[in-house]
Each structure stands twice: as C-alpha cells, then as structure tokens.
C-alpha cells in the first residue's frame, strides 16, 4: 500500500505527538497569533457546550442589570421610585426595574419619571430587544444545525480473521434512533517514526476496508481493515502493532433523515487503545415478538476469542 501524498494533517512530528483530531471529532490544534473577528462570535456561541452557553447568557444578563441598577441609583433612584434610605435597597429597586426594562416586561409598579431616567430606560430597552433577538437566533441555530451523533467504540482490536488473516477493527453506531442512510467511512493510518536524520516524521496510509460503504445502518457497524499483504501492518506481530506510535483518523458521512441532508463526523484512535486476541460481543438480540433489541452499552464490550 502506498503512502497518502496529501493527508491534510501535515508531516512534521515529534515523539509521542498528539493527534490533530480528538476522539469526539473536535480539533486538537492550539491557535496563536490569530486575529479575532466579530464574525467569529456567532460560531463561538454555536460551538459552546449547552451548559457554558446558558451560564454565559445568565452571567451577561445579570451583569447588564447590575450595571443599569447602579446607573439608576447614580442618577437618583427617585426618578423611578421613592428612595428607601439605604444604598442596598435602592440598588435592588434599580436592579429589578432594569430587569423589567431589559426584558420589556414592564409590570407597572415602577416607572421612570424624569427625562434622564426615561432616556436610559429607552436605551436599555433597545439593548434588551437586540440582545434577546441575538439569543433567539443562537438558540435556533444550535437546535437546527445539522449534526451527526455517532458513537465510536472506546477501543481498537486486532484479531484473527477469515482465511487465516488478521484484521484491525473498531465499531460505531448512531446514538439516535434514526437510521443512517448510505454511510461511508474513510480511515487513515498515521505512523510516527524517526527518519535517517533522527527527526520524527509522520507517514499516512489510506487503509483498505472490507466494506467502506453500506446502504443503511440501523444498528452497529464493525469497520474491518484486513491485515493482508497490502496492509502497512502486515509484517508486524500483534505486540509490535500495539507498541507503534500510531493512530487512526476516521471520517464518516451519511444522510441524516432528521435534518434531511448529509452530515459528517470525525474521530481518532491511538494505538494504546488497541486490544489483541479478543472479539466484540454481540450488541443486538431479538425479543419474544421478533423485534431487534440494540444494547448501546455493549458498543465497546469485548470477550475472549475462546
């Protein structure tokens, strides 16, 4: 098997270098000296985890109300409600009036009376309208963004295969209940080795698979690379394969019926996740009514070949 000429990952390397793609498909690249653009904000908020997103929204909302609460106290709380005689209670009145103005709720219990207070409230209402419009757009974008939801087995295995050969395997499945239509997978092997100058270089090989595309996938798919004479792993024993400073880059694409379009997901494996002389356990069975029962917890479960 010939080396891949343009893998897209770069050939420079170092000892025990980390892969450029994490197990969950996210990038493992650290960017420095990168110019920030205001256009990056939308992507940043879309890619945030849900809990970080909501924590940030609540934090910004609270900060706005604190700032405007202080402003209302500074201009004279009497311009919206009679003073309670101490800063803390006056601040609370300003804070809650700010919350009503920012959200355009307006209960009517507190209202601006002076020109300055009305101007500040009008400006705050504008900020509230634009902010919540932005948040609504982000929520829609986060929910509607087409995403694959594929789970990959935690491990790789090397085991005896048909015709006396061995095979490198891993498994994947859709964590949703939808059927993956026309899934297609590409697997690239990355080998980190010393060259003649004592420097580390990465070599890439596009692995031949027993089957790289199927019609549809309702359950689990075991990806199989036969270790035959064309394989870059052919002349290595199982223990030698385990000791390789190597990894796999996996890219799968399929038509997701939930979104009505093609989606992609990447993942990676390091060879320290490789097990030998074991096989994956069956993950599906049939119930009394003849329905297929798929056990998601058995995706990575292995057992002895015996």
* Interval 156-211: pLDDT, tens: 999 998 777 899 999 999 888 888 899 999 999 988 877 666 677 778 899 999 99
Minimum mean pLDDT range among 62-76, 191-205, 237-251: 191-205
Cβ-proximal residues to 285 (8 Å cutoff; 6+ apart), any chain: 292, 293, 295
- Position 5 scores a pLDDT of 52
Check pLDDT > 60 for residue 152: yes
* Cβ-count burial 244-267 (b if 16+ within 10 Å, e if not): bbbbbbbbbbbebeeeeeebebbb
Which of 22-36, 116-130, 166-180 is predicted least confidently? 22-36
Total residues belonging to the chain: 306
Confidence of residue 14 (pLDDT cuts 50, 70, 90): low
* For range 211-240, the mean pLDDT: 92
Lookup: tokens for 58:
């609540």
Residue 291, pLDDT score: 86
Q: What residue spans define the domains of the chain?
A: 48-144, 150-304
Q: Tokens in use for 261?
A: 């379009």
Q: Is the pLDDT of residue 147 over 80?
A: yes
**pLDDT, position 92:** 93
The third-level CATH classification (topology) of the domain covering 48-144 is Helix Hairpins (1.10.287)
Give me the CATH topology for the region 150-304.
Immunoglobulin-like (2.60.40)
Q: What is the mean pLDDT of residues 34-40?
A: 76
Question: Mean pLDDT of all residues in the chain?
Answer: 86
What pLDDT sits at residue 15? 55
pLDDT above 60: residue 131? yes
Q: Give pTM, 2 decimals.
A: 0.73
Q: What is the pLDDT of residue 12?
A: 53
Residue 67: name the closest of 27, 95, 109 by CA.
Answer: 95
Give the burial class of 32: count Cβ atoms within 10 A of its Cβ; 0-12 exposed, 13-18 middle, 19 or more buried. Answer: exposed
For residue 64, pLDDT beyond 80: yes
pLDDT tens track for 276-299:
989 999 988 888 888 888 899 999
């Amino acid at each position: 098997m010939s080396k891949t000429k343009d893998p897209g990952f770069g050939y420079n390397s170092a000892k025990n270098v980390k892969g450029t793609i994490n197990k969950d498909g996210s990038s493992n690249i650290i960017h420095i000296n990168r110019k920030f653009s205001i256009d990056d904000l939308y992507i940043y908020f879309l890619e945030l985890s849900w809990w970080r997103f909501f924590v940030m929204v609540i934090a910004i909302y609270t900060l706005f109300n604190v700032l405007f609460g202080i402003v209302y106290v500074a201009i004279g709380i009497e311009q919206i409600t009679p003073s309670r005689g101490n800063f803390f209670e006056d601040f609370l009145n300003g804070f809650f009036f700010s919350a009503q103005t920012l959200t355009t709720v307006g209960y009517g219990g507190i209202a601006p009376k002076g020109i300055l207070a009305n101007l500040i409230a009008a400006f705050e209402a504008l900020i509230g309208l634009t902010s919540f419009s932005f948040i609504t757009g982000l929520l829609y974008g986060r929910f509607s963004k087409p995403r694959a939801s594929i789970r990959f087995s935690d491990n790789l295995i090397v085991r005896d295969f048909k015709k006396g050969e061995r095979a490198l395997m891993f498994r994947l499945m859709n964590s949703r209940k939808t059927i993956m239509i026309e899934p297609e997978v590409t697997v690239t092997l990355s080998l980190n080795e010393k060259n003649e100058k004592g420097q580390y270089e990465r070599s890439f090989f596009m692995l031949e698979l027993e089957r790289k595309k199927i019609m549809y996938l309702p359950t689990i798919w075991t990806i199989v690379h036969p270790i035959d004479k064309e394989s870059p792993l052919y002349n290595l024993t199982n223990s030698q394969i385990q000791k390789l400073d190597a990894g796999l880059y996996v890219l799968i694409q399929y038509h997701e019926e939930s979104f009505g379009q093609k989606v992609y997901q990447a993942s990676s494996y390091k060879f320290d996740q490789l097990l030998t002389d074991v096989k994956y356990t069956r993950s599906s069975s049939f119930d009394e009514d003849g329905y297929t029962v798929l056990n998601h917890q058995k995706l990575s479960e292995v057992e002895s070949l015996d």
